[in-house]
Amino acid sequence: MQRTSLADTQCPIARSLDRVGEWWSMLILRDALTGLTRFDQFEKSLGIAPNMLTRRLSALVDAGLLERRRYSERPPRDEYVLTERGRDFQPVLWAMVAWGNRHFAPEGESLVLVDRLTGARAEPVLVDRVSGREMTQAEFRGAPGPAAGDRLRRRYTAADPDPGVTP
């Protein structure tokens, strides 16, 4: 079954999912953010079939999250290096770590985030860069941006939607 592309929709959530929504893609990015760059490293870490890994790596390169760099001519071998766009995905994965630990780890946390300098436990939160306030559903909501079309504008134009209904 052919998957429908969300790349041309106006919704930034849908556009993002079009690039990284397939779960192998997120796991490849997770591993790349820990320093893996080579096909065999990803294959061993993930236990993924080579044909699937090839497709996922190509899709991440096409989406601009990874850059393919040749490191050997004979035999021809490439490594996959994070781009700025790929590195910018790190906070999304950190948020998923916190969310997964909170909701899907009845046995306890298998991965925690820590401060590189102190080793102290970190708890990720989303903070508005302008006000410095934590972004909660009670105090922030989605609103149409300058490029919003009619459909997106209708979805996000409610005067003050119920917190928890609109992302």
Question: Each residue of 112-139: pLDDT tens digit?
Answer: 999 999 999 999 999 999 999 999 999 9
Q: What is the mean pLDDT of residues 81-87?
A: 97
pTM: 0.84
Q: What per-residue confidence (pLDDT) applies to 45?
A: 97
Helix axes 39-46, 50-62, angle to 10 degrees: 120
Which residues are registered as beta bridge partners of 55? none
> 16: pLDDT confidence band, cut at 50, 70 and 90?
confident
Q: Among residues 150, 148, 149, 130, which one has the least CA distance to residue 140?
A: 130
Residue ranges of alpha helices (H) inside the chain are 12-20, 23-33, 39-46, 50-62, 84-87, 90-104, 150-156
